[in-house]
Amino acid sequence: MITPYSPLTTEDSTDTQALYARFPHLIRIELLWGSLECRQFLSGLLTDDRGGHRDGFPAEHARTIFSLLMEHDAAFPEFEELAHRAAWHDGYQRRALG
C-alpha cells in the first residue's frame, strides 16, 4: 500500500526498488511517509543507536535512505524542525541530569 505522499509517486523521486528488494521490511517507509514517525524512522536508520554493534547499510542503500530523508525534509519541513528540537532537548536533559 502506497500513501498519496509516497516518494514513488513523483518523477524526481528517489528510486527505492533496490532498497526494498534487499530490505523488504523498509517498505514501512511508504506507509509512514508524510509523518513525524517517518522522519524519525529514516533518521534512525542512519544512526548507530546500538553502541557500535550495528553493521550499517551498504553504501548504495545508505545513499537511498539519506535521499529519502532529504526528500521528506523538503516536503515536510515541519517534521525536520520538530525532530531537531526533540534531539536538542533530549541531549540537553542527558547532559543536565548526567
Q: What is the pLDDT of residue 28?
A: 97
Kindly indicate the confidence band of residue 1, based on its pLDDT and cuts at 50, 70 and 90: very low
For residue 14, tell me if it sits in a domain.
yes
Within a domain: residue 1?
no
In a domain, 63, yes or no: yes
Q: Indicate the pTM of the whole model.
A: 0.72
Summarize the chain as % helix, strand, coil (round to 5). Answer: 65, 0, 35
- Under the banding of pLDDT at 50, 70 and 90, the label for residue 2 is very low
Q: What is the pLDDT of residues 8-52, one digit of tens each?
A: 555 568 899 999 999 999 999 999 999 999 999 999 999 877 676
- Count the alpha carbons within 13 Å of 26 in the hemisphere toward its beta carbon: 19
Task: Please count the other Cβ atoms lying within 10 Å of the Cβ belonging to residue 6.
Answer: 16
Give the count of domains, the chain.
1
* 2 part of a folded domain: no
- Reported as type and span, the H/E element at residue 64 is helix 59-75
**Residue 26 located in a structural domain:** yes
Please report the pLDDT score of residue 96 as a whole number: 53
Does residue 94 carry a pLDDT above 80? no
In contact, 20 and 64? CB cutoff 8 Å: no
Task: Print the domain residue range for 11.
Answer: 7-47+57-97
The mean pLDDT of 54-60, rounded to a whole number, is: 87
